[in-house]
Amino acid sequence: MAVFKRGYQRYDGPLTGPVTRFLAVPRFVWPKLLGQRFVVILLVLSLFWPLMCAGFIYVSNHADLLPSLGSGGDDGIRKMLAIDGKFFAIFMNVQSTFAILLAAIAGPGLIAPDLANNALPLYFARPLSRWTYIGARMMVLFGVLSLVTLIPGLFVFIMQASLASTAWLQANWYLGQGMVLGFLLYIVMVSLIALTCSAYVKWRVVAGALVLAFFFVLAGASQIINQVLRVEWGSLLNPGFAIYTVWCALLGVEPTDDAPGAWDCFTVLLLMLGALLAVLLRKLRPVEVVS
Amino acid sequence: MNPVIAVDNLRVRLGKREILKGISCRLGASGVGKAIGLLGPNGAGKSTLIQTLLGFHKPSAGAAQILGFDCHRQSLEVKTRIGYMPENDSLIADMTAVAFLRLMGELSGLPAAAALEKAHETLFHVGLGEARYRNVGTYSLGMKQMAKLAQAIIHGPELVILDEPTNGLDPAARQRMLVLIKEMKEQHGMNVLLCSHLLHDVEQVCDEVVILKDGQIVHQCDLVAERQANKRFVQLQVSGDDRNLGAALREIGAEGVSEAPGTWRIVLPVEIEVNALWRISARENLRITKLAYRRDTLEEIFLKAVGHLQPSPQPEVAHGRI
């Protein structure tokens, strides 16, 4: 029977599990995000570097072809073509730039409209806690940011593993593990920054600019502290530096001399994430209480 | 029969102010569609009570239960069983009504296919069938109110909490909203908690009324029983010196209150005919200008409860039982 003829009846069927309900949010948001022109352009641009890396990996694994191309085959070139932790650190660094840009475009539209439209009571009057709401919104960014970080990264790693010998995989499996962990930490950090900016700034453009400013301003502040106080620990305030140091540790790359260590950077990142989460939770209330 | 809402010595403090000051009540009956009106002047604590029932505020003492589940400790269980229509504009503006309702349905636990079906069904039910593919942000105020009602009932909750549902509606839309609320309780067996300033709306659809003032319950009544009891009320208007009318009424076993000079509200015992009033008036040299049976309207109940009107004489007193 047609819906308009049937009339309203109370639903008495089975309900979905409470854990999976929040997945409805990203399912509704993703198609909208992927329909935005800037998001599509960024996604396409973000593929170039992984493709170049894939080409590099191909050449690296076919180094015996180089003499025939007249390039010689000395150890220097072979060393330059090695697929090691440094290669993946550079790969992650480049892709992370696209991730920040994507977060700056996609993030501001996630919470600000709910606050502007006073929609939070509708969410929180349903079986959805503040944590689940944040989880649902982070899932949106996780999906989008994975397209430029985790998925191309895994593609590059799997390509190298399939072209190289089994011995390479046995010796370097930690690179894949480190890359996944590093990108996960990075996605969580960028997502929380984007969501917090979205929760506090109503205008999307301003919120997007704030996401970018978060990285640039803190990087500048950390340099000022280092120069004025003639210390190195100021770099801890630079989230870009901190995450790169953690990545280097996960990928077995030599750290920079005198700079703060990976554990220090990791601790600072955790504190930063905790602070962002606390600030976000403070803003996400179903009703404003005026004391 | 278990109550739908059970509140026991509930105290809620927001900042330094205590908003709800130890209220206790049992409202509605589980499994029976009833509408409960929540009334009170501004700042009485109505919204705070609703928000506490929704689990938005933590009680500083006491407890509130909905359908046997604690509103704070078992809030997810409670929220699965209720629907909430907020007072203010509260929508996701850049979504079509179908998508909006589908999302709300899925978040309430409906499977995706069922949520889509219910979204269409509910939108037709509230009269937005033709506009269901329009963005909610483009709706008029009346349509937004209907969309808010639709999202509150899409999952077929046992209790629907409506905060000022007729706000900003034109008379026709207001009537439509009241009909929908009546249908919700009478045809679909839902319990409704209706918070409104429009006493006429509450009177039209509610079976029970709770009146709050300064964070306390000042009156709770069964409207149906109240209406029946109030059938013995008579409104009398006389011209002349009516100073002795009160005493004369007491002589025949009736009780009267002077509302204004020459205007009396009288409780007439069943055994006394209206003719007795004519006789007393003639004896006291008063000319009756108006005599009418009248109900103690909800407005009067409300004004009495919040202290703006002299209390009605009690029928029991008129019978001389107390």
User: Is A255 part of the contact surface with chain B (CB cutoff 8 Å)?
Assistant: no
**Exposure b/e, A211-239, CB count within 10 A at least 16 = b:** beebbeebbeebeebbeeeeeeebbbbbb
Rounded to two decimals, the ipTM of the complex is 0.86
Q: B92 vs A119: CB contact, 8 Å cut-off? A: yes
A259: tokens are: 């700079």
Q: B151 vs A128: CB contact, 8 Å cut-off? A: no
Predicted confidence at residue B317, as pLDDT, reads 40
Residue A241 parent element (H or E): helix A239-251
Alpha-carbon distance of A123 to A117, in angstroms, equals: 12
Predicted confidence at residue B295, as pLDDT, reads 62
Predicted confidence at residue A209, as pLDDT, reads 92
Predicted confidence at residue B318, as pLDDT, reads 39
Alpha-carbon distance of B287 to A105, in angstroms, equals: 81
User: Is A118 part of the contact surface with chain B (CB cutoff 8 Å)?
Assistant: yes
Q: Which of B15, B107, B156 sits opposite A123 (nearest CB)?
A: B107
pLDDT band at B15 (very low <50, low <70, confident <90, very high): confident
Q: B108 vs A117: CB contact, 8 Å cut-off? A: no
**Average pLDDT of span B58-65:** 93
**Exposure b/e, A29-49, CB count within 10 A at least 16 = b:** beeebeeeeebeebeeebeeb
User: Is the pLDDT at A166 greater than 70, yes or no?
Assistant: yes
User: Is A10 part of the contact surface with chain B (CB cutoff 8 Å)?
Assistant: yes
> Which amino acid, B207?
D
Q: B151 vs A24: CB contact, 8 Å cut-off? A: no
What topology does CATH give the domain B5-214?
Answer: Rossmann fold (3.40.50)
**Average pLDDT of span A220-245:** 90
- The 10s digit of each residue's pLDDT in A125-148 is 999 989 999 999 999 999 999 999
B110: tokens are: 């409906």
Q: B84 vs A121: CB contact, 8 Å cut-off? A: yes
Alpha-carbon distance of A195 to B74, in angstroms, equals: 28
* Min distance A286 CA to chain B CA atoms (Å): 7
**Average pLDDT of span B145-169:** 93
Residue of chain A whose alpha carbon sits nearest to that of B150: A8
The set of residues, in sequence order, having a beta carbon less than 8 Å from that of A8 and lying 6+ positions away, is B121, B122, B124, B125, B153, B188
What topology does CATH give the domain B227-319?
Answer: Alpha-Beta Plaits (3.30.70)
User: Is the pLDDT at B319 greater than 50, yes or no?
Assistant: no
* Predicted TM-score (pTM) of this structure: 0.82
Q: B156 vs A12: CB contact, 8 Å cut-off? A: yes
Residue B54 and residue B4 in contact, taking contact as beta carbons nearer than 8 Å: no
Residue B227 and residue B288 in contact, taking contact as beta carbons nearer than 8 Å: no
Alpha-carbon distance of A59 to A194, in angstroms, equals: 38
A272: tokens are: 């930063």
- The 10s digit of each residue's pLDDT in A96-113 is 999 999 999 999 889 998
* B50 neighbourhood in chain A, CB within 8 Å: none
Extents of the domains making up chain B: 5-214, 227-319
Q: A113 vs B188: CB contact, 8 Å cut-off? A: no
Alpha-carbon distance of B160 to A269, in angstroms, equals: 44
User: Is the pLDDT at B321 greater than 60, yes or no?
Assistant: no
Q: B117 vs A3: CB contact, 8 Å cut-off? A: yes
Query: Which residue, B171, B172, B126, is CA-closest to B145?
Result: B126
Alpha-carbon distance of B135 to A170, in angstroms, equals: 55
User: Is A71 part of the contact surface with chain B (CB cutoff 8 Å)?
Assistant: no
